């Protein structure tokens, strides 16, 4: 595993994990979101891209190198590291509860599946809880980064993890222009 990089965690009560991410732009977008909200993120191999991909860096708008993230070689490595933590899969299955009705708890890890296949069946069975975003009949799935942001926002609200409105100090940049000057 690659160690987590950033020191600042605004919302240590939540984590986000990406299971076998395939599209660098989605991963970069979620790394940027993670950085901006102070939420740690875990990336679970295999990836569908090289981690120094230009698309990943561009979507991350310079935030990737500041994001608080770790890389796990396998799903088993990830589960072993967080064996005592409740995991919540963003899933489309019948057994998943609507994300806005779910009772989030401090320490939850929201896990988003691969853009191409979601979760491998055996791995999904190892995740303790499942939530879904209800959609109108006949509609196709949402973009993975959009779906993750929606559910993460709901969890932040439910857990009352509101970020201060004042400007951050230290190495926490507040704009893309400040990040690009670093």
For the chain, what percent of residues have pLDDT higher than 70?
Answer: 74
Output the average pLDDT for the chain: 82
What is the C-alpha separation between 173 and 180, in angstroms, rounded?
10
Tell me the average pLDDT across 37-44: 91
Give me the domains of the chain, ranges plus CATH numbers: 15-180 (3.40.1280.10)
Residue 92: pLDDT over 80? yes
Pick from 92-96, 108-112, 154-158: least confident: 92-96
| 114-132 pLDDT per residue, tens | 999 999 999 999 999 999 9
Which token pair is 10? 């605004």
What is the C-alpha separation between 58 and 64, in angstroms, rounded?
9
Query: Comparing C-alpha atoms, which of 162, 182, 148, 164 is closest to residue 32?
Result: 148
- Predicted confidence at residue 111, as pLDDT, reads 98
When pLDDT is cut at 50, 70 and 90, the band that residue 61 belongs to is low
- Predicted confidence at residue 38, as pLDDT, reads 86
What is the C-alpha separation between 57 and 75, in angstroms, rounded?
24
Query: Comparing C-alpha atoms, which of 48, 4, 10 is closest to residue 27?
Result: 48
Of 178 and 16, the structure prediction assigns the larger pLDDT to 16
What is the C-alpha separation between 13 and 117, in angstroms, rounded?
28
When pLDDT is cut at 50, 70 and 90, the band that residue 171 belongs to is very low
pTM score:
0.81
What is the C-alpha separation between 56 and 169, in angstroms, rounded?
26
């Amino acid at each position: 595993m690659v160690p987590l990089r950033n020191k600042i965690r605004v919302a240590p009560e939540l984590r986000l994990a990406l299971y076998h991410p395939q599209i660098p732009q989605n991963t970069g977008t979620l790394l940027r979101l993670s950085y901006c909200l102070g939420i740690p993120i875990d990336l679970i191999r295999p990836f569908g891209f090289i981690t120094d991909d230009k698309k990943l860096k561009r979507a991350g708008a310079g935030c990737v190198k500041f994001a608080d993230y770790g890389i796990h070689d396998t799903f088993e490595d990830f589960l072993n590291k967080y064996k005592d933590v409740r995991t919540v899969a963003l899933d489309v299955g019948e057994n998943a509860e609507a994300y806005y009705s779910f009772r989030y708890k401090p320490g939850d890890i929201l896990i988003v599946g691969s853009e191409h296949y979601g979760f491998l069946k055996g791995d999904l069975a190892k995740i303790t809880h499942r939530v879904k975003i209800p959609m109108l009949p006949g509609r196709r799935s949402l973009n993975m980064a959009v779906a993750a942001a929606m559910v993460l926002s709901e969890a932040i609200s439910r857990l009352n993890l509101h970020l201060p409105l004042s400007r951050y100090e230290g190495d926490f940049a507040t704009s893309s222009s400040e990040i690009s000057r670093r």
